[in-house]
């Protein structure tokens, strides 16, 4: 298959049209779906006022010849839940593309929490000294993908003891130990920071609730850059009110967006950012580069990056 022969549809029209240039940069031709071999899907999901999974399913039902679909973001749970993912074609997503900026944000949230920056920022008078240093501390990361690996690299200068909890116990470079989900309780004890940086699946939904929060250290911070539904929000509010843990720093919440007046907004030991660990401006060069590379690989018959397992849902 020659590079110039690749015909790619970029749909839906008018959504992230800047991705069209990424396809052209790979030497491919942009054509309507009925003439295409592959599809670059540009609608991230229902947060954009459209039912992206249903829209994609209709398009694929009409054009079953499409052999490869590229999805825009790393999270594909909406598509998995809607039954769009199948074994009839190859699926790729933005898995790993946004790892560095998300890991950077996770570390920033952790440091802000341990150093009590949220409380100090809200203060209107001089107060007592407070804060915990991460140097030589202990961290636990739920997830063994790109974000976790980038975060491990960022944590190296702090000399932390790093535990990773993931499916299976295969070693990860830089991690002191890797535990399967079955041993997750062991990973919570003794950690100064617990990071959530994993895909949302039935196995990881409501991963952190009352029991898990009780097992965490009284000074520990929970940092979530994964998905909001991985935390039982009501249990987290109760734990924060009772100082069961040191605090929570959340870039994702359940519900999301977090409604005005929600209790999490007013808790002094909670720091919330509006799902901004990876912004659209950050995403443009990263996602554009991934799509250009994947179109090139598709043309050359090489393995694609960011493969999605329809059975696993990520």
pLDDT for the residue 142: 98
- Per the annotation, the verdict on 262 as an active-site residue is no
pLDDT for the residue 59: 96
Could you give the percent of the chain with pLDDT greater than 90?
89
- Per the annotation, the verdict on 105 as an active-site residue is no
List all residues 6 or more positions away from 262 whose beta carbon is below 8 Å from its beta carbon: none
- Distance from first CA to last CA of the chain, Å, rounded? 28
> What's the mean pLDDT in 34-56?
82
Whether 50 has a pLDDT exceeding 70, the answer reads no
> What's the mean pLDDT in 182-203?
96
Which H, E and C letters describe the chain, residue by residue?
Answer: CCHHHCEEEEECCCCCCCHHHHHHHCCCEECCHHHCCEEEECCCCHHHCCCHHHHHHHHHHHCCCCCEEECCCCCCHHHHHCCCCCCCCEEECCCCCCHHHHHHHHHHHHHHHHCCHHHHHHCCCCCCCCCCCCCCCEEEEECCCHHHHHHHHHHHHHCCEEEEEECCCCCCCCCCEEEEHHHHHHHHCCCCEEEECCCCCCCCCCCECHHHHHHCCCCCEEEECCCHHHECHHHHHHHHHCCCCCEEEECCCCCCCCCCCCHHHHCCCEEECCCCCCCHHHHHHHHHHHHHHHHHHHHHCCCCCCECCCCCCC
Name all domains of the chain by residue range, CATH numbers in brackets. Answer: 3-97+279-300 (3.40.50.720), 99-272 (3.40.50.720)
Contact 22, 288 (CB under 8 A): yes
Catalytic residue among 256, 293, 296, 297: 256
Whether 236 has a pLDDT exceeding 50, the answer reads yes
pLDDT for the residue 5: 76
Whether 45 has a pLDDT exceeding 80, the answer reads no
> What's the mean pLDDT in 246-255?
98
pLDDT for the residue 52: 84
Region for residue 193 given its phi and psi (left: phi exceeds 0; alpha: psi -120 to 50; beta: otherwise): beta
Whether 48 has a pLDDT exceeding 60, the answer reads no
CA dihedral 206, 208, 214, 217 (to 10 degrees): -170
- Per the annotation, the verdict on 227 as an active-site residue is yes
Taking only the tens place, the pLDDT of each residue in 73-130 is: 888 989 998 999 999 999 999 999 999 999 999 999 999 999 999 889 989 999 999 9
Catalytic residue among 16, 105, 149, 227: 227
CA distance 65 to 93: 19
Whether 49 has a pLDDT exceeding 80, the answer reads no
Whether 2 has a pLDDT exceeding 60, the answer reads no
> What's the mean pLDDT in 246-266?
98
Whether 25 has a pLDDT exceeding 70, the answer reads yes
pLDDT for the residue 46: 52
**Exposed, middle or buried, 158 (CB in 10 Å: 0-12/13-18/19+)?**
middle
**Average pLDDT, whole number, for the chain?**
94
User: Which tokens belong to 197?
Assistant: 């940086």
Catalytic residue among 16, 149, 275, 290: 275
Taking only the tens place, the pLDDT of each residue in 193-232 is: 999 999 999 999 999 999 999 999 999 999 999 999 999 9
């Amino acid at each position: 298959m020659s590079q110039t022969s690749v015909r790619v549809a970029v749909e839906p029209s008018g959504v992230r049209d800047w991705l069209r240039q990424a396809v052209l940069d790979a030497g491919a031709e942009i054509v309507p779906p009925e003439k295409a071999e592959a599809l670059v899907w540009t609608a991230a999901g229902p947060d954009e006022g459209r039912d992206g999974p249903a829209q994609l399913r209709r398009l694929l039902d009409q054009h079953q010849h499409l052999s490869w679909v590229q999805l825009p973001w790393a999270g594909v749970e909406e598509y998995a839940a809607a039954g769009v993912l199948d074994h009839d074609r190859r699926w790729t997503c933005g898995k790993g593309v946004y790892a560095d900026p998300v890991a950077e944000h996770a570390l920033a949230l952790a440091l802000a929490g341990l150093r009590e920056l949220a409380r100090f920022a809200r203060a209107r008078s001089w107060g007592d000294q407070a804060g915990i240093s991460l140097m030589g501390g202990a961290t636990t990361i739920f997830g063994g993908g790109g974000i976790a690996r980038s975060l491990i690299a960022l944590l190296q200068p702090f000399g932390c003891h790093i535990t990773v909890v993931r499916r299976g116990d295969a070693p990860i470079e830089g991690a002191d130990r890797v535990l399967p989900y079955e041993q997750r309780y062991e990973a919570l004890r003794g950690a100064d920071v617990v990071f959530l940086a994993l895909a949302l699946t039935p196995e990881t939904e409501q991963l952190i609730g009352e029991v898990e929060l009780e097992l965490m250290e009284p000074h520990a911070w929970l940092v979530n850059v994964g998905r909001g539904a991985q935390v039982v929000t009501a249990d987290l509010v109760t734990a924060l009110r009772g100082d069961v843990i040191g605090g929570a720093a959340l870039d994702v919440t359940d519900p999301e967006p977090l409604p005005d007046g929600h209790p999490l907004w007013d808790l002094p030991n909670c720091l919330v950012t509006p799902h901004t660990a990876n912004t659209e401006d950050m995403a443009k060069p990263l996602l554009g580069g991934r799509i250009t590379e994947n179109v090139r690989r598709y043309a050359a018959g090489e393995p694609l990056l960011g493969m999605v397992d329809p059975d696993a849902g990520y």
